[in-house]
Amino acid sequence: MSDISDIVDAILTEVEAAVSGVTALTTVVHPDDRPDEDFPLATVLQTEYDVEPLDYLQENRVWTVSVVLWEEASKQSGDGLGTRETMQTKLEAIRDKIVADPTLGGTCDRAMCVTAIPESNPDASRIAGVFVVRAERVA
């Protein structure tokens, strides 16, 4: 039976496969506490666990994992750094990886990326994208 650490590890493996050069951490960190060479950076923001009762004494176990992806913000057009558009592309690449392996390497029955939102502030030195994965297993 999978637990949250297996599911988080599988999600971060998909992130590493989807985003070139990403540093993936299972702990929550503030991006200002990381050196610049750690970017892009993916950290687990929040995890939740719920159980939904099913017929015949079964239950649907549901893990929800929120991950934030950080990258250096673009200072000028064409500098190769992050914009909302490049962040959206990275979030879509992560989603595509999860769609291609909906069992997250066998850690769950079904996983899906339920939210992917690029965030930016014109004055910020970094931009972020938040995505949420819902993983389920019937037991």
Q: Are 133 and 68 in contact (CB under 8 A)?
A: no
**Residue 70, SS3 per DSSP:** strand
**CA 92/CA 61 separation, integer angstroms:** 26
pLDDT for 77: 62
For residue 80 the two structure tokens come to: 């190769």
- We report the CATH number of the domain holding residue 102 as 3.30.70.1700
Q: Could you tell me which residues come within 8 angstroms of residue 85 by beta carbon, excluding any fewer than 6 positions away?
A: none
pLDDT single digits (tens) 53-69:
989 989 999 999 999 99
Q: What is the pTM of this model?
A: 0.87
Domain that holds residue 99: 4-138
Phi-psi region of 106 (alpha: psi -120 to 50; beta: other; left: phi over 0): left
User: What does residue 10 show for φ and ψ, rounded to 5 degrees?
Assistant: -65, -40
pLDDT of residue 83: 82
Q: Which residues of the chain are under the pLDDT cut of 70?
A: 1-2, 36, 75-81, 121-123
Phi and psi for 65 in degrees, rounded to 5?
-120, 125
Mean pLDDT of the chain: 87
Instruction: Count up the domains in the chain and report the number.
Output: 1
**Helix, strand, or coil (residue 16):** helix
